[in-house]
Chains A and B, each alone.
Chain A
Amino acid sequence: AQSVSQHNHHVILSEAASLELGCNYSYGGTVNLFWYVQYPGQHLQLLLKYFSGDPLVKGIKGFEAEFIKSKFSFNLRKPSVQWSDTAEYFCAVKARGSGTYKYIFGTGTRLKVLA
């Protein structure tokens, strides 16, 4: 069955530290990939997405992610985090079949950035 794994459930960083959150999926077909963020007290927002083309995608607030097809990975990165990046981050995959598709979310990574 298709699945999405986020290996880091909780991450604590100091401001200005670099961030990398892992995301791996299990599905051999066509995928679209997403990272969503949920700030405290707010609803899910799209951070960035990959459909095709350049495997390095840039999103809002300085985030980027790289799609490595051979590794079934879509890791999220930010060179220097800020206190305001404290949030929960979800990786999601749209697994496309013949005329059908499924959306699969990972379990999320809670990021806490210390000022």
Chain B
Amino acid sequence: DAGVTQSPTHLIKTRGQQVTLRCSPKSGHDTVSWYQQALGQGPQFIFQYYEEEERQRGNFPDRFSGHQFPNYSSELNVNALLLGDSALYLCASSTDIGAYEQYFGPGTRLTVT
């Protein structure tokens, strides 16, 4: 049983560019949450998707957007990249919108130069 998978593993982008990160949830999970983890910090909640809709959102600007597909996989898009967007982006999946028990993926390391 595959756990949460994320792609790509690493990514280097230039300021002003746009990036798309991908996540496949654990088998049987229908809810996907995205987090940003800056160096030396804990994960910060970006948003959560359930039934292909954004259901909860943290304190992130509109440059951060997402999508969930019918197969429950999800994408995180970041537009107009800033140097401060450099971080590890984590995806977590769970079985219900309550997300009482989340399973995290390995993350995508984004570097903005």
Contact = CB atoms under 8 A, between A and B. Distances in A.
Nearest to B90: A44
B98 to A, nearest CB: 8
Contacts of B45: 102-105
Given A43-B107, A100-B56, A102-B56, A90 B43 contact: yes
Interface residues of B, number: 22
Given A43-B104, A45-B104, A46-B102, A102 B43 contact: no
B74 to A, nearest CB: 16
A22 interface: no
Interface string B98-112: 011111111100000
Nearest to A42: B106
B interface SS class: loop
Nearest to B4: A43
Interface string A61-77: 00000000000000000
Contacts of B43: 44, 90, 92, 105
Given A44-B90, A102-B56, A49 B44 contact: no
Contacts of A4: 42
A106 B99 CA distance: 18
Interface residues of A, number: 21
A43 B100 CA distance: 18
Interface string B73-89: 00000000000000000
Contacts of B105: 43
Interface of B: 4, 33, 35, 40-45, 56, 58, 90, 92, 99-107
